[in-house]
Amino acid sequence: MSDNAITAALRTMGIPADTMSGHGFRAMAYTVLEEELGFPQHLIDHQLAHVVKNTLGRAYNRTTHLPERQRMMQEWADYLDTLRNETRL
């Protein structure tokens, strides 16, 4: 799904541009995954499909880290569930 599609859905829901954007979700996830949940940057970069900065890394690194990324995404989902449940109290 493109950033534009997510942003259009946010605007349809009445969420203004100065409150959240599609890319804002990615930035928020990166920050929370690293600072709050303690995941290393390389796993977050893999999940968010960031390009490896080092040209040799792009040429030779074929790792996927799927088990670690699955655990990270489950912790992310659990974190979001906790936030949702706290707002219902």
38-82 pLDDT, tens per residue?
A: 999 989 988 887 666 666 665 666 778 889 999 999 999 999 999
Q: What is the pLDDT of residue 89?
A: 63
Q: What is the pLDDT of residue 4?
A: 85
Residue 7 pLDDT greater than 70, yes or no = yes
Task: Identify the residue whose tokens are 């979700």.
Answer: 25
Contacts of 47 (CB under 8 A, 6+ apart): 69, 72, 73
Q: What is the pLDDT of residue 52?
A: 63
Q: What is the pLDDT of residue 76?
A: 96
Ranges of each domain in the chain? 25-88
